[in-house]
């Protein structure tokens, strides 16, 4: 597993998400209400819509297009029309820096 530096923790608002592009792929990185960070594939599994534009409430991200929703800790699809789970990737904060293992 190799870690890549994505951003600073302060770049993400609490209960918020940002987009992270790396190696030709796109991801969403979330900062939970627990102040931990999480990383999932960036695009909704229903249509290719970026989840970083979605509303984050508790541990749920809602797709900005049709309100499908996912638990971003596990990637589980929890509301239709999204029915396929999202891929998740390890994420951590080291000295205020967010790192993800997306390779």
Partner 1 sequence: MDAIVIVGAGESGTRAAFALREAGYAGTVTLVGVEPHLPYERPPLSKPENGAVTMKALCSSQALLDAGVTYLHGVGATALDAGRRAVTLSDGRALAYDKLLLATGARPRKLACKGAERALDFRTYDDAKAVLSGVDTSRSVAIIGGGLIGMELAAVLRGKGLAVSVIEAAPKPLGRAVPSHFAARLHSRHSEEGVHFHLGQGVSEIRHNTVLLADGTSVPADVVVAAIGVQPEIALAEAAGLATGNGILTDAFLRTSDPDIFAAGDCVAVEQYGGGHVRFESWRNARAQAETAARNMAGAVEPFAAIPWFWSDQYDLVLQVAGLPQPDHQCVMRALPTGELAFYLDDGRLVAAASLGVGNSLAKDMKLSEMLIAASVRPDPAVLADPGVNLKALLKNAKAA
Return the one option of partner 1, ligand FES, none that residue 54 interacts with (CB less than 5 to 8 A, by type).
Answer: partner 1
Residue closer to ligand FES by CB (options 83, 101) is 83
Query: Cα–Cα distance between 98 and 18 in angstroms, integer?
Result: 11
Is position 76 an interface residue for partner 1 (rule: CB under 8 A)?
A: no
Distant-in-sequence, close-in-space partners of 10: CB < 8 Å, separation ≥ 6: 96
Residue 49 binds to partner 1 (criterion: CB under 8 A)? yes
Of 96, 86, 89, 76, the C-alpha closest to 35 is 96
Residues of this chain that interact with partner 1 (CB under 8 A) are 15, 49-50, 53-55, 57, 62, 64-67, 80-81
């Amino acid at each position: 597993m190799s870690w890549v530096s994505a951003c600073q923790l302060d770049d993400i608002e609490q209960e918020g998400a940002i987009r992270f592009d790396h190696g030709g792929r796109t991801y969403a990185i979330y900062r939970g209400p627990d102040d931990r960070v999480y990383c999932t594939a960036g695009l909704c599994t229903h249509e290719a819509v970026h989840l970083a534009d979605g509303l984050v409430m508790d541990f749920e991200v809602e797709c900005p297009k049709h309100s499908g929703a996912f638990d971003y800790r596990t990637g589980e699809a929890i509301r239709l029309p999204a029915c396929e789970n999202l891929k998740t990737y390890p994420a951590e904060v080291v000295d205020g820096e967010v790192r993800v293992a997306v390779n």
